[in-house]
Amino acid sequence: MANELSGRSVAVLATDGVEQVELTEPVRALKAAGATVHVVSPKEGSLQGWNHLDKADPIPVDQPLEGADPARYDALMLPGGVVNPDQLRLQPKAIAFIRHFVESGKPIAAICHGPWTLIDAGGVEGRRMTSWPSLKADLTNAGARWEDSEVVTDRGLVTSRKPDDIPAFSRKMIEEFREGRHAA
């Protein structure tokens, strides 16, 4: 439905090294569903997208993380790419931004390596999740119940494994973002 998310605001937290399609395709789906979407980043101006191991396109940043207020957003999307979440995990402001969504019970969607940042934000313990397979041990060690599925939803947390899962990920993300808050 074209206006499922009308009136909803979604933050997409990313930085250099993001897997481009894992940002652009879910953002396209969110906008098609009527959401207002902002790419939030520690970078200003633009960040560098990647297509696996190859440099892709610059992606415009809508809101620098420095001045971003997570309270103004209804939901959070975390795209993958190995470098993107690895860099975000080292930035206290990025983890605090994510932690706001975890603690407030706002819905979160994370794909591929995106769930990595949820470990540092305290958002995986006791949750059913999936991710890129190399994160299985990290997520399990942090208390998640990892499974190899196209998309996994647990109390407002939507996770997927890889770019091939984007259609299912986007559908489930829109559904959860439409439903709103969940028990943290």
Mean of the per-residue pLDDT values of the chain: 96
Question: What is the third-level CATH fold of 9-179?
Answer: Rossmann fold (3.40.50)
Candidates 52, 100, 113, 182; catalytic one:
113
Q: Inform me whether the pLDDT recorded for 183 exceeds 70.
A: no
How many other C-beta atoms are found inside a 10 Å radius of the C-beta of residue 183?
6
pLDDT at 180: 86
Mean pLDDT of 38-49: 97
pLDDT at 13: 98
pLDDT at 182: 66
Q: Inform me whether the pLDDT recorded for 162 exceeds 90.
A: yes
Mean pLDDT of 32-47: 97
Q: Is 61 helix (H, G, I), strand (E, B) or coil?
A: coil
**Which pLDDT band holds residue 2 (cuts at 50, 70, 90)?**
confident
DSSP bridge partners of 181: none
Candidates 38, 52, 112, 182; catalytic one:
112
The share of the chain scoring above pLDDT 70, in percent, equals 98
Verify whether residue 112 is a known catalytic residue. Answer: yes
pLDDT at 184: 55
Q: What is the pLDDT of residues 117-141, one digit of tens each?
A: 999 999 999 999 999 999 999 999 9
Query: Alpha-carbon distance 153 to 172, whole Å?
Result: 8
- What are the residue ranges spanned by the domains of the chain? 9-179
Backbone angles phi, psi at 29, to 5 degrees: -65, -40
Verify whether residue 52 is a known catalytic residue. Answer: no
